[in-house]
Amino acid sequence: MTNNEEQPSRLPDWVPWGGRYVYETITTNGGYEDQRLASAMRTIFFDTDLGPVWKSLGALSLSQDGWSFLIGGIITAIECAPKKGKRATRDTDGDEKISIRKRQEAANKLLAKIASTSEALSKLLNELERNGGKTPTETESGLALIEAAIREDGVSKACCSKEFEDFKRKLSSYAKIRFPSPAAMFHELANAANRHPNTAILFSEDPWLSSSHSSWKDYVRVLNCQFAECKQMYGAAPDFSDAHWTLLIAALIDNSISRQTVSKGLKEL
């Protein structure tokens, strides 16, 4: 619910019809439950310093859906920026993005261990076969190994058992004999783990996770990506100047940030 000061009729005169439509739609549907998003929405629509930003937006020719996509993006992209305050303008390492990247780094180390362990198992199984050693039935063929795994796992048994039996019935005797051995399967598991991209490559196309630091620049990266999508889908998108970005960042993230800092940061993106 909005209070009287936040009713659509109280919106500043500079908010264009598209902005008023989006505001009324959001408030009619109960607004944002997340306090940070709710605060960002109030700031975007009622902060008196954002008049020039709205004037720039008002020059766009967008449909109702286009306005919803654009304004919704300006609001929700704030989730990709550090918490509001002076520290939000600096590279930090205590927020969600850094935690995600650290977890991925740890996962990459585990993948490297999986690769080396799987390759070692593959070599051991090949050595066992060369020496004529006897093995349990499950390891005599990859087909039997998969079948045993499905049988032992309750969810797999419920979901895959019939499909696997249908698949197995369609295999010829020759195909069953030539089915990849466990050694070959472990070898391919090692190859798959080795092919997994490192963190930099994995997140290279993500406007939020691509940077190894967290700062106000994340908000700009994510929003610029959304502007490009808006242009592609609805035919128009903002082209903010350094001054517009400064006003928006100061209102939403850090009111002490200077235009010089923003201009320098934008050139680094």
| 14 neighbors 23 (Cβ within 8 angstroms) | no
DSSP per-residue letters across 53-80: HHHHHHT----HHHHHHHHHHHHHGGGG
Residue 153: which residues within 8 A CB-CB, separation 6 or more? none
Q: What is the mean pLDDT of residues 234-259?
A: 94
Task: Report the alpha-carbon distance of residue 202 to residue 237 in Å, rounded.
Answer: 28
The answer to whether 155 and 161 are in contact (CB under 8 A) is no
pTM metric for this prediction: 0.70
Q: What is the pLDDT of residues 102-128, one digit of tens each?
A: 889 899 999 999 999 999 999 998 888
Which spans in 153-258 are helix H? 154-169, 173-177, 182-195, 199-202, 216-234, 242-252
Token pair listed for 244: 């517009």
Per-residue pLDDT tens over the stretch 154-190: 899 999 999 999 999 999 988 888 888 888 999 999 9
The pLDDT score that the predictor gives to residue 1 is 42
For the cut 60, the answer to whether the pLDDT of residue 264 exceeds it is yes
Residue owning tokens 């696997």: 164
Q: Which helix (H) or strand (E) holds 22?
A: helix 17-28
